[in-house]
Chains A and B, each alone.
Chain A
Amino acid sequence: MSTTANPTIDLGPGAHGGADHHDHAHDHDHGHHTLTGWRRWVYATNHKDIGTLYLWFSFSMFITGGLMALGIRAELFTPGLQFWQPEFFNQLTTLHGVIMVFGAIMPAFTGLANWMLPLMLGAPDMAFARMNNWSFWLLPPAAALLIISLFVPGGAAAGGWTLYPPLSLQFGMGMDLAIFAIHLLGISSIMGSINIITTILNMRAPGMTLMKMPMFAWTALITNYLLVAVAPVLAGAVTMLLTDRHFGTHFFKAVGGGDPVLFQHIFWFFGHPEVYIMALPAFGVVSQIIPTFARKPLFGYHSMVYATASIAILSFMVWAHHMFSVGMPATAQLFFMFMTMLIAVPTGVKVFNWIATMWQGSMSFETPMLFAVGFVCLFTVGGFSGLVLSIAPVDTQMHDTYYVVAHFHYVLVAGALFSLFGAVYYWLPKWTGNMYSERAGKFHFWWSMVWFNVTFFPMHFLGLAGMPRRIPDYPLQFTDFNAIATVGAFCFGLGQLFFLYNVIHTIRGGVGKAPANPWDSPTLEWEVPSPAPHHTWETPPDEALVKKGLVAQALE
């Protein structure tokens, strides 16, 4: 099986057939290095290269989805229709959601896991290096399908990222392209998850038991269990949409005895764990950064693990809180309200533990720490609005209004995205071997922090006052806050180009060479040189080294 797929096949005459394996085995150190140009990336099996691919892919999707967001905000600057026809506006909101969730946030965390897990666990690579290549390379075609769908007759899917039927049964082939894109993204996610789970369970350094691994590995493990559980559910839901659209089934068509609400139940059974798929890795990143810059071990490691697991389990029991207005019986309404409120408990435990980690520390505020603290502040605000939304009667007023938009942008932008920025600044020295400019990083943080709030905080007021989501035009009383949000969005977007500049500047040398362990952090990834060589931990770290790190993390 492996001979044809072996990346060393292009090395030249003689490097094929049976000899190939042998070659590969003892050529380990330079074999991969000789793959240059596009081959290095297309045939990539190295976890660092694939991690890099994931991260750049996700950044380009972030910019694409961001431009769509700016298209949305531009239209909403003043009342009336200025730029887009309403149907194109709906396509923008739909693609913005799909691209940001499946194209930007999720691949970014998979990329981080790819880059960092083997380094942090003391493993030479991911468990399934070839499958890793395949999971990444499914993403660009999926993204291409989504972009192409804008240009097909009838335009892209315009039913919102939730794709509710019967509306989603009405669209043209743009919807089919979106369905196939989701299939591809789902397959990619499932393979990526299997890879991550296997790596974590089987490839840890000697002496590093599960309860001693870095918190980032824990959140990655739990996240990817969630993903394996729910990605097939989404695939099933969109497949049913597809057969309803083209093959005469009636899963969601009332005329044939189907139930449109069934789709919502299936979608949110995927969708709610999905929320935590995007949030848990962020918790992991923050749990690495805060102890490092507080110069103190993470407080309550065990309760952090249990809290993460509880959130994951509870996430399967709260889906219908997205559906409080479909008209469920009172008992269901009450059950989902209570379960949803319960999630506040483990989430609160995490926040308290982070604060206890900072307490009596010796904190310094380099850019990663700023993003981590920014994350804790704004994620908490997002958690508060989530608590408000969990109260079913209050949700009657908020459902499908801008309050919900504000809420999930607080947890996804200030939550997931800020943690990703923190992670990039934290690990850039390891990735590039260079230090980023601290001044530039801090500027990026403060700029993002200010404009994020200018963009999204007013949306709470809009939602309270009753402005529905996904409308291209609005009544006059909503004008002021929409104008403010639009200004904020454009400034926030501009700031992300500055982030791109920071990263490129660092790759090109930054402000100087990075030491192996610039933050004086005890986890294993800092034990290898900076930049991390192409192959690391080919021989597992010895137990004494692992133990030293664990002692410093107060895990032993």
Chain B
Amino acid sequence: MRFSRVCALAALLPACSFANINGRYNFQTPQTLIAHDINNLHAWIMGVIAVIFVAVFGVMFYSIFKHRKSSGHSARHFHENTTVEVLWTLIPALILVVMAWPAAKVVLAQKDTRDAEVTIKATGYQWFWGYDYLDYGFGYKSKLATPREQIENYKDQGQAKGEHYLLEVTEPLVVPVGTKVRILTTSNDVIHSWGMPAFGVKQDAIPGFIRDTWFKADRVGTFRGQCVELCGRDHGFMPIVINVVAKNDFKTWVDKKQKEAKAAADDPNKVWKLDELIARGKTVYDANCAACHKADGAGGGPFPALAGSKIANGPIAGHLGIVLHGKGAMPAWQGLSDTEIAAVITYERHSFGNKMTDMLQPKDVKAARK
């Protein structure tokens, strides 16, 4: 649709589509074969549309300017012509065939997820992404890195916004260049959608189901996108960032991640001390809970305060139940580890002025999950 209103110059349009690819007025610069194909398809269709636009609007405005009562034109009372009706049914149908043919080829290519060399599971959470490298046995969460101070301008201007405002994450997805990567999408709670405009991929992440898509990035670099299916409060705040790296760098990175994963794995049988658990719980809370319940546990809007709440000051089993299974706007936090859940619940019961004395151990959480 880009320039059609302004110029309506048929020949220019397809050209524009190639020349002006910069992610501001048009598609982001394509980085995969599929994205190139989509771009070409779009340019081709815009070309066809531009020709039809000029023809239809040309005839209509010629008529509007020439066949006016005010210029003394008198009406000619023709009202039916089977030949033209047949023609303007058949010709558009033929035009559609030449549009559909190349489109169908791209559909089939998009759907062909066979022979992938790397498979990564992308899980949507409210409101961040989790990536699991299924072939390498590690995974991590990728969350918005833009500080809240840059986002919230309710009372004042807040902090100045950075270059990649809302498009930066704590840890991007890392993939090797020139390799067919298959992405499996699923979700922990509601429907999200994982996509990368520069790669020409977009696939909804549906709870309880696994769907897949694929890409093969041509170039090394960092690429940015966002969740594109409304998923609740922070739908606008769960970006997707992909680092495409050289194959060797990818290997090194995978080794490093695997070692880290081993080292960082919580021993599920460990018995924690209260102080340790509270300290661990604070990091879990700030990363997962503070967005709604606020850092000081005061809550806000539909999200209840934890400070002085009946649940955080009631039986610990009830508290655990809410965190594990959710309720209303509170999602189920099954995706956190036993240790993380034990820690965050313990933290909540000992913070914000809550003065409980009990605590949870990872094995208690494990037992409650069954």
In the assembled complex, which residues on chain B have CB atoms less than 8 Å from the CB atom of A159?
230
A470 to B234, CA, bound (A): 11
- Nearest chain A CB to B349 CB, angstrom units: 25
Report if A384-B49 is in contact (Cβ < 8 Å); known contacts: A85-B301, A172-B329, A342-B96. Answer: yes
In the assembled complex, which residues on chain B have CB atoms less than 8 Å from the CB atom of A298?
79
A334 to B42, CA, bound (A): 17
Determine whether the beta carbon of A554 is less than 8 Å from that of B208: no
Number of interchain pairs (Cβ within 8 Å): 324
Determine whether the beta carbon of A393 is less than 8 Å from that of B106: yes
Interface string of A472-486 (1 = CB under 8 A from B): 111111000000000
In the assembled complex, which residues on chain B have CB atoms less than 8 Å from the CB atom of A86?
233-237
Given A327-B185, A475-B165, A475-B167, 16 further pairs, Cβ under 8 A: A79-B165, A83-B154, A159-B230, A299-B78, A330-B107, A342-B93, A349-B89, A352-B56, A358-B67, A361-B76, A384-B52, A388-B46, A400-B228, A468-B226, A471-B235, A475-B164
Could you say which of B18-26, B169-177, B250-258 contacts chain A?
A: B18-26
Determine whether the beta carbon of B80 is less than 8 Å from that of A302: yes
Interface residue B200 (Cβ < 8 Å from any Cβ of A): yes
Could you say which of A47-55, A252-260, A491-499 contacts chain B?
A: A252-260
In the assembled complex, which residues on chain B have CB atoms less than 8 Å from the CB atom of A362?
67-69, 73-75
Interface residue B152 (Cβ < 8 Å from any Cβ of A): yes
Interface string of A102-140 (1 = CB under 8 A from B): 000000000000000000000000000000000000000
Which of A81, A261, A388, A453 is B151 in contact with, Cβ under 8 Å?
A81
Interface residue A500 (Cβ < 8 Å from any Cβ of B): no
Interface string of A186-201 (1 = CB under 8 A from B): 0000000000000000
In the assembled complex, which residues on chain B have CB atoms less than 8 Å from the CB atom of A554?
77, 79-80
Could you say which of A212-220, A312-320, A422-430, A459-467 contacts chain B?
A: A459-467
Interface residues of B (CB under 8 A from A): 1-2, 4-5, 23-28, 34, 37-38, 41-42, 45-46, 49, 52-53, 56-57, 59-60, 63-64, 67-70, 73-81, 84-85, 88-89, 92-93, 96, 99-100, 103-104, 106-108, 110-111, 150-154, 158, 161, 163-167, 185, 189-191, 193, 195, 197, 200-204, 206-209, 211-213, 224-237, 300-302, 328-329, 331
Which of B42, B46, B100, B164 is A337 in contact with, Cβ under 8 Å?
B100
Determine whether the beta carbon of B45 is less than 8 Å from that of A388: yes
A79 to B236, CA, bound (A): 12
A-B CB contact pairs (8 Å), 5 listed: A167-B191, A260-B191, A355-B59, A475-B164, A475-B165
- Nearest chain B CB to A285 CB, angstrom units: 18
Interface string of A340-351 (1 = CB under 8 A from B): 011011001101
Closest Cβ neighbor of A458 among chain B residues: B25
- Nearest chain B CB to A340 CB, angstrom units: 10
Determine whether the beta carbon of B200 is less than 8 Å from that of A363: no
In the assembled complex, which residues on chain A have CB atoms less than 8 Å from the CB atom of B233?
85-87, 90, 158
In the assembled complex, which residues on chain A have CB atoms less than 8 Å from the CB atom of B300?
85
Which of A337, A349, A351, A401 is B107 in contact with, Cβ under 8 Å?
A337
Report if A464-B206 is in contact (Cβ < 8 Å); known contacts: A82-B153, A471-B236. Answer: no
A471 to B158, CA, bound (A): 19
Could you say which of A20-28, A374-382, A530-538 contacts chain B?
A: A374-382
Determine whether the beta carbon of A460 is less than 8 Å from that of B204: no
Which of B37, B165, B230 is A160 in contact with, Cβ under 8 Å?
B230
Determine whether the beta carbon of B328 is less than 8 Å from that of A170: yes
A460 to B25, CA, bound (A): 9
Report if A391-B227 is in contact (Cβ < 8 Å); known contacts: A170-B329, A297-B79, A554-B77. Answer: no
Report if A393-B37 is in contact (Cβ < 8 Å); known contacts: A164-B230, A166-B190. Answer: yes
Determine whether the beta carbon of A172 is less than 8 Å from that of B197: no
Report if A361-B67 is in contact (Cβ < 8 Å); known contacts: A300-B79, A349-B88. Answer: yes
- Nearest chain B CB to A258 CB, angstrom units: 8
Q: Pick the most buried of A167, A466, A477: most chain B CB atoms within 10 A of its CB.
A: A466
In the assembled complex, which residues on chain B have CB atoms less than 8 Å from the CB atom of A172?
302, 328-329
In the assembled complex, which residues on chain A have CB atoms less than 8 Å from the CB atom of B231?
167
Determine whether the beta carbon of B45 is less than 8 Å from that of A387: yes
A172 to B329, CA, bound (A): 7
Which of A348, A384, A385, A394 is B92 in contact with, Cβ under 8 Å?
A348
Determine whether the beta carbon of A461 is less than 8 Å from that of B2: yes
Which of A170, A397, A464 is B200 in contact with, Cβ under 8 Å?
A397
In the assembled complex, which residues on chain A have CB atoms less than 8 Å from the CB atom of B166?
79, 473-475
A466 to B81, CA, bound (A): 45
Interface residue A268 (Cβ < 8 Å from any Cβ of B): no
In the assembled complex, which residues on chain B have CB atoms less than 8 Å from the CB atom of A329?
111
- Nearest chain B CB to A529 CB, angstrom units: 26
Determine whether the beta carbon of B107 is less than 8 Å from that of A155: no
- Nearest chain A CB to B301 CB, angstrom units: 6
In the assembled complex, which residues on chain B have CB atoms less than 8 Å from the CB atom of A333?
107, 111
In the assembled complex, which residues on chain A have CB atoms less than 8 Å from the CB atom of B212?
327
A359 to B62, CA, bound (A): 9
In the assembled complex, which residues on chain B have CB atoms less than 8 Å from the CB atom of A258?
208
A85 to B148, CA, bound (A): 13
In the assembled complex, which residues on chain A have CB atoms less than 8 Å from the CB atom of B53?
380, 384
- Nearest chain B CB to A426 CB, angstrom units: 17
Which of A88, A359, A380 is B67 in contact with, Cβ under 8 Å?
A359
Closest Cβ neighbor of A166 among chain B residues: B190
Interface residue A373 (Cβ < 8 Å from any Cβ of B): yes
A160 to B324, CA, bound (A): 27
Report if A391-B193 is in contact (Cβ < 8 Å); known contacts: A155-B302, A295-B75, A385-B1. Answer: no
Determine whether the beta carbon of A396 is less than 8 Å from that of B329: no
Which of B1, B4, B24, B67 is A477 in contact with, Cβ under 8 Å?
B24
Interface residue A356 (Cβ < 8 Å from any Cβ of B): yes
A359 to B63, CA, bound (A): 5
